Structure 1
Amino acid sequence: MKIGIDKIGFYAPDLYVDMRELASARGIEPDKFTIGIGQEKMAIAPITQDTVTLAANAALNILDDSDKKKIDLVIFGTESGIDQSKSAAVYVHELLGLDSAARAFEIKQACYGATAGIQMAKGHIALNPDSKVLVLASDIARYGLNSPGESTQGAGAVAIVMSANPRILALEDKSAYFTSDIMDFWRPAYSDTAFVDGKFSNEQYSLFFETVWKQYRSKSGLGFEDFEALCFHVPYTKMGLKALKPVLEVEAKEMDQQRLLENYQKSIQYNKVVGNIYTGSLYLSLLSLLEHKEGLKEGSRIGLFSYGSGAVGEFFTGIVQPEYQNQLKIAQHVDQLSVRKKISIEEYETLFVEELPIDGSTVKLAIENDSAPICLSGISDNKRQYINKQR
């Protein structure tokens, strides 16, 4: 039985910052952002959007009534959750009107969380072939104003429907994974911004890719010649390339290097203009490949490298299914990104420091200024209030 991705979609807030303008405001040569790390725009979440609403909006765009009846498991991967007890999955479950006969929970391991969810979904579907699983990857990446990591922020979510007999990507059984207790990136419970040892994190990311690739190659007997494309977790779009090229140069023939490097560029088109979305970054890259690579053939093998700081890495694979293009929402995604509003650096800085009350006071938010169907409308009695405008 084939198990894998039946549907996939994403949502990003309707505001963004131009990376060249951010660089100029920080006294940095703009090419360091646009060429050096490969970022063009950075999605900015208004106070009416959080990880719950971003995920719900992403899922709203791909689910139909049949999905809502068959989904009996909701897994929410995030590292910027909104509650220390109640899972974001439960909020989304209600906002989308899913069947009550379902499990719902949140999972965390930095940017690896959604991959863990996908692997759990495979096991669930193997035991329950008629069910579907909704896997959500939603985050708002925050490092702080004027911080070294500021240029690798972003906001957005990816929603994935997993099922038997998937119509987009059938996941293969063999995978390789590696865990090591390191401190390359972390966010203590008392901090709303992350801490990162940038140089060390880059080194570990590359080391983890090399490690799981060698492990996978040994398990499977496959090499780079067997892959049409490789997708990476990309906090910034040059990061995956830095890990891939040294290994390619040692192991791959020139024609395989050329194909994989060309397709890598196809896989980062959305990430360039959204920014870092933590748990969703790998799957935004996969979606970018599927929607930008012309002539991607049925049966093509796609490799996926997932990395979550702290750290866990995994390399796994999927096979492109017939008529996968019929399941994509290309026009919708292009339109969503094209109608976003560019904001000034001053406006961005104002939004960044805007906070919800933490003293139990009531607040009502101006959701009429937010174009999203699902919004955070306020807080009352220490409870977040959400609205689905389409109901």
Structure 2
Amino acid sequence: MTIGIDKINFFAPHLYLDLVTLAEARGIDPNKYTKGIGQEKMAITPLTQDTVSMAANAAEPIVSKEDAALIDMVILGTESGFDYSKAGATYIHQLLGIQPFARSIEIKQACYGATAGILMAKDYIEKHPDRKVLVVASDIARYGLETPGEATQGAGAVAMLISSNPDILIIDDESVAMTENIFDFWRPIYSDNALVDGKFSNEAYIKFFADTWHEYQRRTHASLADFEAICFHLPYSKMGKKALLPVLEEADETTQARLLANYEESIRYTKAIGNIYTGSLYLGLCSLLDNQDKLAAGHRIGLFSYGSGAVAEFFTGRLAENFKTAIRTNEHQDLLANRTALSMTEYEELFKQKLPVDGSTLELDSKDDTSTIQLTKVTDHQRHYLKK
């Protein structure tokens, strides 16, 4: 029996800001964004979208009625949840009509949370091979207007259905996790925006990748030549390459060329959406699967998950026989093609908008939101959603 990702889909809000527009407004050379960090656009959420609605929008197209009856767990990985007690997964469970006798939980460890959920799901399916687990990564990356991290914001969600005999990616058993208590990136409960030590965060990311890869190599005797591609957690599209290049020196020229070429295919969606925290690794996987037409069943993919603070894991998977027919390439590309660009004025006004925190009622106008599931009202400290 094999276990892994049977279905995968991502969602991004219908609004975005072009980073050339941002650079020009901030008096910065656009090349600093488009070439320096490799970003082109960043997704922006209207008030009608939050971590729950984006997660549900990502999952809704891949959860059939038959799936909903077989899902025993709904796991939401997020670091931008809006309730310290109630899991966002409980809303998702309801919005998708999943059978009532299911666990619904939320996992937090910066950008690593969804990976923890996938590996938990794998363990569950091993004991319950006829059941399924829904894992969703959903986040809104905010650093504030006119901050150093403004160009690395974004928003989106990736949903994955984990099952036995999966159609997309068979997850291998061996993996290497690593933890260190560091302050490279964090967000205290009293802050709306994250705090970042940018230089240290980059250094920590690079170190964690090298350390987990070399420990994986020691345990398994694998080499880079065994991998068709390696996907990375991507706070911005150049970050993974910074970690990959020093390790690539171990490989022959053919392997180096292949991994670098496939890395470029894995970052296309991140360039267009920005940082989506827990979902960014899996957005990269979607990008690789959708854009690299030379992939074949049996090819091994490495995956590096990094959550600041910090927990990382290097794990691997093999492409399943039916992956080419199971991915949603056309839907993903249509989603990105049909978004609306914001002006700087519109972006800044939207960024400053907030939901009430005093229990008052706010009815939201969702006529411009093209998504299926939306936040429509806040009343008595409760959020209410509509599924069109």
TM-score by length of 1: 0.99
User: Over residues 305-335 of structure 1, what are the superposed CA-to-partner deviations in whole Å (9 max), with x where a residue is unaligned?
Assistant: 0000000010000000112111111111111
The percent identity for this pair of structures is 59
Amino acid at match of 1:214: H
- Structure 1 match to 2:330: 331
- Structure 1 match to 2:284: 285
- Structure 1 match to 2:297: 298
C-alpha separation in 1, matches of 2:6 and 2:219: 26
Count of aligned pairs: 388
C-alpha separation in 1, matches of 2:326 and 2:70: 18
Amino acid at match of 2:267: I
Q: Gapped runs of 5+ residues in structure 2?
A: none
Is it true that 1:244 corresponds to 2:244 in the alignment? yes
- Structure 2 match to 1:79: 79
List aligned pairs for 1:38-117, cutoff 5 A.
38-117=38-117
- Structure 2 match to 1:307: 306
- Structure 2 match to 1:218: 218
C-alpha separation in 1, matches of 2:357 and 2:386: 21
List aligned pairs for 1:90-169, cutoff 5 A.
90-169=90-169
Amino acid at match of 2:155: A
Amino acid at match of 2:331: Q
Question: Secondary structure at 1:25's aligned position in 2?
Answer: helix
Shift of the alpha carbon at 1:231? 0.1
User: Over residues 250-309 of structure 1, what are the superposed CA-to-partner deviations in whole Å (9 max), with x where a residue is unaligned?
Assistant: x01111000000000010111110000000000000010011001211110000000000
C-alpha separation in 1, matches of 2:66 and 2:192: 38
Amino acid at match of 1:355: K
Shift of the alpha carbon at 1:59? 0.3
C-alpha separation in 1, matches of 2:162 and 2:42: 29
Amino acid at match of 1:263: N
- Structure 2 match to 1:208: 208
Amino acid at match of 2:119: Q
User: Over residues 7-56 of structure 1, what are the superposed CA-to-partner deviations in whole Å (9 max), with x where a residue is unaligned?
Assistant: 00000000000011101111110011001000011000001100000000
Deviation beyond 6 Å, 4+ runs, structure 1: none
C-alpha separation in 1, matches of 2:219 and 2:26: 47
Amino acid at match of 2:387: N
Shift of the alpha carbon at 1:364? 0.3
Amino acid at match of 2:164: A
Shift of the alpha carbon at 1:82? 1.3
Question: Secondary structure at 1:8's aligned position in 2?
Answer: strand
Is it true that 1:262 corresponds to 2:261 in the alignment? yes
User: Over residues 147-183 of structure 1, what are the superposed CA-to-partner deviations in whole Å (9 max), with x where a residue is unaligned?
Assistant: 0010100000000000000110000000011100000
- Structure 2 match to 1:375: 374
Q: Gapped runs of 5+ residues in structure 1?
A: none
- Structure 1 match to 2:37: 37
- Structure 2 match to 1:230: 230
C-alpha separation in 1, matches of 2:176 and 2:368: 45
User: Over residues 205-224 of structure 1, what are the superposed CA-to-partner deviations in whole Å (9 max), with x where a residue is unaligned?
Assistant: 00000000000001111000
- Structure 2 match to 1:180: 180
Shift of the alpha carbon at 1:340? 0.1
C-alpha separation in 2, matches of 1:64 and 1:359: 38
User: Over residues 323-351 of structure 1, what are the superposed CA-to-partner deviations in whole Å (9 max), with x where a residue is unaligned?
Assistant: 21111111111111101000001100100
Question: Secondary structure at 1:302's aligned position in 2?
Answer: strand
C-alpha separation in 2, matches of 1:86 and 1:139: 16
C-alpha separation in 1, matches of 2:196 and 2:63: 36
Question: Secondary structure at 1:245's aligned position in 2?
Answer: helix
Shift of the alpha carbon at 1:185? 0.3
C-alpha separation in 1, matches of 2:3 and 2:198: 36
Question: Secondary structure at 2:355's aligned position in 1?
Answer: coil
C-alpha separation in 2, matches of 1:265 and 1:295: 14
Question: Secondary structure at 2:173's aligned position in 1?
Answer: coil
Question: Secondary structure at 1:98's aligned position in 2?
Answer: coil
Shift of the alpha carbon at 1:198? 0.2
C-alpha separation in 2, matches of 1:329 and 1:231: 18
Amino acid at match of 1:104: S
Question: Secondary structure at 2:79's aligned position in 1?
Answer: coil
- Structure 2 match to 1:190: 190
Cα RMSD (Å): 0.6
Question: Secondary structure at 2:66's aligned position in 1?
Answer: helix
Shift of the alpha carbon at 1:378? 1.3
Amino acid at match of 2:104: A
C-alpha separation in 2, matches of 1:364 and 1:65: 31
C-alpha separation in 1, matches of 2:335 and 2:285: 18
User: Over residues 125-151 of structure 1, what are the superposed CA-to-partner deviations in whole Å (9 max), with x where a residue is unaligned?
Assistant: 011111100000000000000000101
